[in-house]
Amino acid sequence: MKSRKLLMIPGPIEFEPEVLSALGQPTTSHVAPNFIQSFGNALRMMREVWLAPTSQPFIMAGTGTLAMDMAGSNLIEKGDKVLVISTGYFGARYAELLARYGAEVTFLQSEIGDVVPLEIIEEELKIGHYKLLTFTHVDTSTAVMVDPKPIGELAQKYHVLSVLDGVCSVAGEEIRQEEWGIDVVLTASQKAIGVPPGLALMVVSEKAMNVWKNRKSPVANYYSDWTNWLPIMQAYEAGNPSYFGTPAVNLVMALEKSLEIILAEGMDARFARHQLMAKAFREAIKALGLTSIPFDDQVSAATLSAPFYPSGMKGGEFLNQVNKEGVILAGGLLPEIKGDYFRIGHMGSINRADTLATISAIEEALRKGGHPFEMGAGIKAAQQVLS
């Protein structure tokens, strides 16, 4: 009897068996030839996944928050003006992080479930004389998706560095970093990249690297300082060992395997698959009589969904019942409405069977919770999309 439950939260996700096999190999030295090759391969493949062939990748032991911190600490000096465009919890977190490094932060917050209109962003860029802007591609707290392309174009138009928090989007949502002119795209390993938690990943444009090189003050975070880490990345990519801090050897080898799987699928095919699975979930949610945080499909993520509980249903009881049906979902995260909704992660190795099993578990939990709907309506709606 299968005892393991299907993990359908917005990270950690379900991982490919080959990735877990690579992770479970005997740990080798961080200067062993096979690890040097693995690290170098991972760096090169990151450029292909990010679609940023001339930019600089970084692989660090840490979380997505460390990746956010690295971008902030290396590019911000005291008094720099920063525009933070927020669609939820993680935009607010980035504003707080950047202020710690002395940035003068202007905060543009969307309505819950919506994005900040482009005309408002442009109005602020016209008058603000900003050095840098940040925005969250998919905020994990709301499932709201921001279109990165026009924001990247605005950043270029007004000569502002752009940082895309892609923790819940890289390798799931479409990102064409260099084509769209985005200077930093960062993520974490446990989301659509498909590797267990523990790696902070980012790719940095030549423009942003030059801004860092011309700083007037030292980077205020010793561990995050690219002065320490850039030589490491360059050495491993060139096939040579180097040391500043011990890399997460097994995680890097798992990353190499996962990037191979991603590129074998092809980026366009991967983007399309995530869109298809997301649409199946959205249509199923609507068929079950539920609403979601994003105002409409145009701002809905391909990597997760955030439906509201039916009126009167207790979230804890609903999630426990879904768990009994063999699927693990996540509760709400945005403080203002935390108890009103739940979250479904559908990224990485997500497939048709995972999608239908999850919807079936949700239907059963809704039925037992007394929510009126036609049993099987969600499954039918999803199958129509997937067919």
Q: Are 9 and 332 in contact (CB under 8 A)?
A: no
- Structural domains in the chain, CATH included, are 6-11+266-386 (3.90.1150.10), 17-265 (3.40.640.10)
Strand pairing category for 56-61 and 104-109: unpaired
> According to the model, what pLDDT value does residue 2 have?
58
- Does the reported pTM lie above 0.95? yes
- Average pLDDT per block of 10 residues along the chain, 387 residues long: 84 98 97 97 98 98 98 98 98 97 98 98 96 98 98 98 98 98 98 98 98 97 98 98 96 98 98 98 98 97 98 96 98 97 98 98 98 97 97
* SS3 track for 134-192: EEECEECCCCEECCHHHHHHHHHHCCCEEEEECCCCCCCCCCCHHHHCCCEEEEECCCC
pLDDT digits (tens, 9 = 90+) for 16-41: 999 999 999 999 999 999 999 999 99
Helices and strands per DSSP (H, E), number in the chain: 14, 14
- Say which residue the tokens 């174009």 belong to: 153
Q: How far is CA 75 from CA 188, 204, 210, in A?
A: 19, 11, 10
Closest by Cα among 199, 165, 348, 344 to 271: 348
Handedness of CA 45, 46, 47, 48 (dihedral sign): positive
> Which residues is 104 bridged to in the sheet?
81
Q: Are 300 and 143 in contact (CB under 8 A)?
A: yes
Integer Cα distance of 109 and 254 in angstroms: 37
> According to the model, what pLDDT value does residue 1 have?
39
> According to the model, what pLDDT value does residue 247 have?
97
Integer Cα distance of 377 and 280 in angstroms: 12
